[in-house]
Amino acid sequence: MIVVRTVSDLRAALRGRRGGSIGLVPTMGALHEGHATLLRAARSADDTVVMTIFVNPAQFNEQSDLAAYPRTEDADLALAEAEGVDVVFAPDASEVYPDGFATTVSVSGPIAETLEGAERGRAHFDGVATVVTKLLLAALPDHAYFGAKDAQQVAVIRRFVADLGIPVTLVVCPTSRDADGLARSSRNTRLSPDERARALAIPRALTAVTDAAAAGVRRSDALRERALDVLAEALIQLEYVAFVDPETFAPVSSVDRPTLVAIAARVGATRLIDNAVIPPVPPTTGGA
C-alpha cells in the first residue's frame, strides 16, 4: 500500500494503473466498519482501490465540531491495508486549499438548501461539492463509493457530477448498521452508554414509518406522527423528520412514489442523521 500526500504524487502512483479500473473511496478518516464495507465494494469491483483521508474544514459549520472530529491516521492506514487498499491519499489542508484558492462548486435548489443545507448552513454542501470535485479530478477514478446514510450528500454529488460532466460512476452502498440497528458513524464514539441507548430511537422511528407505510398509511404527515411518537420517548433534540423525493429533495405529501424519510437529531452533544427509502404504497392498499 502506498501513502501519498500530494496530488502530483497521487497521479504518479496511478499513472501505471490506468489500464484497469480505479475505485475511489473518499473518507474523513476515523474509519469504522461502515467505511470497510465501501472499501470491500471497491475491492471487489476495481483493479485499483484509492482511499482518501481528509478532514475537510470547508464543510464544518461549527468549529467545535471540526476540532472534535477524531484524527486516527495510524489506525485508519492499518484498516485500509487490511482491506486491500492500493493507494491512500492523505493531503494536508494546504494541498487541497493552497494560498489564493478562490473557487467554490455550488449546487442550488432544494437538493442543497433544505434539511442538512438549512441546518448546517449553505456553506456545508458548498464545501462537500468543492472537495469531492477536487478529489475526483485528482484521482480520475472510474467509480466513486459513498454510503446511503448521507443521502442528501449523495444527491448533491450526483447533481454536480452530472452537471459538470465528470466521467465517474457513483456507487451508493447500503447504510452500514451495528447489530442494535444504529447507523455506523464516527460520531457514535462520542455517545455515552445512556445516549447510545436513546439514539436507538432513530432507527426505531424509521422502522415505525416504513412499517406504517407498508400497512397502507400514505400521508407523510400521518407517517411523521408515527416517527415523532417513537422519538419523543427517547428525549432527544429533534431537528427534523422530513419526507422528500430521493433525487430532488422536494417535499413529498404522499408516499405514492419512492420517498426518502430523513431524520436528524442531537443526542446529548452528538448530532446524528439517518434515513430510509419508503417504496410506493400500491393504490389498492388504502390507508390513512
If asked whether residues 162 and 204 sit together in one domain, one would say: no
Q: Distance between CA atoms of 262 and 206, rounded to whole angstroms? A: 8
At residue 284, the pLDDT reads: 53
- Please check whether residues 45 and 97 belong to one and the same domain: yes
| In the chain, % of residues over pLDDT 90 | 90
- The pLDDT of residue 145 is 98
Residue 122 located in a structural domain = yes
Buried-state track 205-220, b at ≥16 Cβ within 10 A, e below 16: bbebbbebbeeebbeb
- Is 286 part of a structural domain of the chain? no
Whether residues 135 and 194 share a domain: the answer is no
* Confidence bin at 2 (pLDDT 50/70/90): very high
Same domain for 65 and 165, yes or no, is yes
pLDDT digits (tens, 9 = 90+) for 257-286: 999 999 999 999 999 999 999 987 665 544
Question: Does residue 169 sit in the same domain as residue 196?
Answer: no
Where does residue 82 fall: left (phi above 0), alpha (psi -120 to 50 degrees), or beta otherwise? Answer: alpha
Q: Is 35 labeled as catalytic in the residue annotation?
A: yes
Q: How much of the chain exceeds pLDDT 70, in percent?
A: 97
In whole angstroms, what is the distance from residue 205 CA to residue 230 CA?
A: 5
Half-sphere exposure of residue 280: CA atoms within 13 angstroms, side-chain side = 7
Could you tell me which of 153, 144, 112, 148 has the C-alpha nearest to residue 26?
Answer: 144
- Judged against a pLDDT cut of 80, whether residue 96 lies above it is answered with yes
Q: Which of 128, 146, 173 is the last residue of a domain?
A: 173
Residue 170's pLDDT is 98
| CATH for 66 | 3.40.50.620
Q: Does residue 288 register a pLDDT over 70?
A: no
pLDDT at 162 > cutoff 80: yes
**Number of compact structural domains in the chain:** 2
Whether 74 is covered by a domain: the verdict is yes
- Secondary structure element (H or E) that encloses residue 37, with its range: helix 33-45
Final residue of a domain: which of 141, 173, 205? 173
> How far apart, in whole angstroms, are the C-alpha atoms of residue 86 and residue 106?
31
Side chain identity, residue 13: A
Residue 51 among known ligand-binding residues: no
pLDDT greater at residue 168 or residue 70: 168
SS3 61: coil
Residue 137 lies in a domain: yes
**Predicted confidence (pLDDT) per residue in 207-261, tens digit:** 999 999 999 999 999 999 999 999 999 989 999 999 999 999 999 999 999 999 9
To the question of whether residue 35 is assigned a binding role by annotation, the answer is: yes
Out of 173, 194, 211, a domain closes at: 173
**Are 118 and 30 in the same domain?**
yes
Q: Domain range holding 235? A: 186-278
Please report which confidence band the pLDDT of residue 69 belongs to, taking 50, 70 and 90 as the band edges: confident
Residue 68 has pLDDT above 90, yes or no: no
Same domain for 84 and 159, yes or no, is: yes
Q: Which of 189, 149, 155 is nearest to 35 (CA)?
A: 149
Query: Does any domain span residue 264?
Result: yes
Q: Name which of 129, 191, 182, 195 is nearest 160 in CA terms.
A: 129
Report, in angstroms and rounded to the nearest whole number, the Rg of the chain calculated over CA atoms. Answer: 20
pLDDT higher than 60, residue 148: yes
pLDDT for 3 equals 98
Would you say 30 is a known binding-site residue?
A: yes
- List 22, 23, 26, 35, catalytic entry: 35
pLDDT, the chain, mean: 95
User: 235: alpha, beta or left, given left = phi > 0 and alpha = psi -120 to 50?
Assistant: left
- Same domain? 142 vs 192: no
Is residue 8 a known part of a binding site? no
Global confidence as pTM? 0.94
Written as nine digits, the cell of 24 is 475511489
> pLDDT tens digit string along 181-211?
999 999 999 999 999 999 999 999 999 999 9
Q: What angle do CA 97, 100, 102 make, to 5 degrees?
A: 75
Whether residues 137 and 262 share a domain: the answer is: no
Domain of 241, CATH number, reads 3.30.1300.10
3-state secondary structure of 154: helix
Distance, in Å, from the CA atom of 36 to the CA atom of 141, rounded to the nearest integer, reads: 19
Tell whether 112 is covered by a domain.
yes
Based on the domain organization, do 166 and 201 belong to the same domain?
A: no
166 pLDDT more than 60: yes
Q: Do 195 and 274 share a domain, yes or no?
A: yes
User: Cell triple for residue 147?
Assistant: 454510503
140 and 198 co-located in one domain: no
Report whether 92 belongs to an annotated binding site: no
Pairing of strands 237-244, 259-267: antiparallel
